[in-house]
Structure 1
Amino acid sequence: MIDKLKNIINNSSNIVFFGGAGVSTESDIPDFRSSKGLYNEKNNLFSSPEEILSHTFFFNHTEEFYKFYREKMIYSKAKPNDAHLSLSKLEKIGRLKAIITQNIDGLHQEAGNNNVLELHGSVHRNYCLQCKTFYPLSYIEESSSLVPHCSKCDGVIKPDVVLYEESLDDTTLYESINSISKADTLIVGGTSLVVYPAAGLIRYFKGKNLILINKASTSYDHMASLIINDSIGKTLKSALSLMDI
């Protein structure tokens, strides 16, 4: 399996990586839907995580949103793992042209990747709802109040993440479709491909090799030229170790 993956990478000139929560779990960031994920935690929340992370809840219960967001969604001490570092190497040698991620942690950029399309936004970008001034994550973390406010106009600051009931950014979506449609190899890693519309992007792939690397099976397995049910970080690191890069 690893030899086949290595050979496909060696014979590809336009690789796109599409990643989900399983890429970040190896950096000790919890996912949402697994048996140990955020949605299955036993807690005393008066609302479900899905409801708390919705557009309506943010505006109607901003303090409760931020209590949850600060505790469960921000992992600023997390570091890139073998998956992030391997993808950075693939970009540096010119094989990987784009990363499309459902994650909001910014670890791909920290690892050194430049062309990262963040479908669901990023915790590292935050903006004032009133004057649109942008703020880094550090401003949120260092805020003396639970709900951070703009230093210019005192407006409420919202994380630049896509909440439930909100649409994906049109530009990011278009660039993702364009990247996938031009790729000769699409590597899908760490995602069960059940979250739409993000998962539907796979249908735009017209290239030769669809590679699925995930610990569990997906509904797209029948379309794949290679399936590896293992750790994404371990798999990519092993393949690249055979390439002397």
Structure 2
Amino acid sequence: MQKYNELQDLILESNNIVFFGGAGVSTESGIPDFRSVDGLYNQKYSYPPEQILSHSFFISNTEYFYDFYKNKMLFLEVSPNKAHIKLAELERVGKLKAVITQNIDGLHQKAGSKNVLELHGSVHRNYCMKCGKFYDVDKVIESKGIPRCTCNGIIKPDVVLYEEGLDNETIDKAVNYISNADVLIIGGTSLAVYPAAGLIRYYKGNKLILINKSSTSMDSMANLVINDSIGKVFEGIKL
């Protein structure tokens, strides 16, 4: 209980909070985690998921990619959970400056968050590789086989696949928010995915909070560690 009180106090005292989140923020909405025991990486497919979700596989085997992607990567019916909702509330009252997420599901925006930096892109944005025209996710869902643009170019999800680099502008913004933050809250991530996980090293303050069900390699760096459900933790925060 003391740790929850400490978190409450840190949030009440600050108006410059940044949140960095991973898959654990979305699993509580029903989106499966890649690396958990029953996650995507422990299921059996014709190819390893890491290979299917790579740039080279997308280019060479686009139809199979889309069959997998539509069945295993799109969860459009799920709703934001208590963590998403509380983060949006913290932004509305002027305490939270930015949400930096590794997730591609758009649930932070669905909950009402405005300033969301999506390190790995979003399933809700898709673009033609030939002419650059953008499409929403409905175009992908409604297409049979490979989604194509009006110019007949192949449409690609605006998500970062394996073998692809992160967007430099998004990275620069994330570094700026983290390096200037008073309080940095990291939640729902094992901090195992680089280069995204390396961003927290830019934090210069002394109010680093880690909220995750299991321990992480960065726990020793944190000023406060809470091993619990992120939705439960955030639900208890009073503003």
Class of the TM-score when normalised by the shorter of the 2 chains:
over 0.9
2:39 is aligned to: 37
Residue identity matched to 1:75 = F
Q: 2: CA distance between counterparts of 1:16 and 1:223?
A: 17
One-letter amino acid of the counterpart of residue 97, structure 2: K
Tell me the equivalent position of 1:73: 73
SS of the residue corresponding to residue 131 of structure 1 reads coil
Where do residues 1-245 of structure 1 align in structure 2 (5 Å cutoff)? Answer: 1-41=3-43, 43=44, 45-143=45-143, 145-150=144-149, 152-240=150-238, 243=239
- Give the SS at the match of 1:212: strand
CA separation in 2, counterparts of 1:16 and 1:35?
Answer: 30
Q: 1:206 corresponds to which letter in structure 2?
A: K
Residues 78-131 of structure 1 deviation map (CA, whole Å, 9 limit, x = unaligned): 110000000001001100000000000000001000100000000000000101
**Tell me, which stretches of 5 or more residues in structure 1 are unaligned?**
none
Aligned-partner SS, 1:239: coil
1:76: Cα distance to partner?
A: 0.6
Structure 1 Cα separation of the partners of residues 220 and 85 of structure 2: 29
What do the CA deviations read for 1:158-194 (whole angstroms, capped 9, x no partner)?
0000000000000000000000000000000000000
For 2:230 and 2:38, locate their aligned partners in 1 and report how far apart those are by CA, in whole Å.
18
Give RMSD over aligned pairs. Answer: 0.7
Q: In structure 1, what is the Cα distance between the partners aligned to 2:96 and 2:205?
A: 14
**In structure 1, distance between residues paired with 2:92 and 2:206:** 22
SS in 2 for 1:193: coil
- Once the two structures are superposed, residues 50-101 of structure 1 have per-residue CA deviations (whole angstroms, 9 ceiling, x without a partner) of 0000000000000110011001100010110000000001001100000000
**1:47 shift after superposition:** 1.0
The 10-residue stretch of structure 1 (161-170 or 134-143) with the greater mean CA deviation from structure 2: 134-143
Moved over 6 A (4+): none
Amino acid at match of 1:141: I
> Aligned partners of 2:39, 2:94: CA distance in 1, in Å?
35
Give the letter aligned to residue 17 of structure 2: I
* Partner amino acid, structure 1, of 2:230: I
CA offset digits 1:127-152 (Å, max 9, x no partner): 00101000000111112x121100x2
Shift of 1:37: 1.1
Output the CA distance in 1 between the equivalents of 2:79 and 2:139: 20
SS at match of 2:237: helix
- TM-score computed with the length of structure 2 as normaliser: 0.98
Q: In structure 1, what is the Cα distance between the partners aligned to 2:23 and 2:212?
A: 10
* Structure-2 separation of matches of 1:176 and 1:160: 18
Cα drift, residue 208 of structure 1: 2.3
Deviation at 1:49, TM superposition (A): 0.3
**Matched pairs, number:** 237
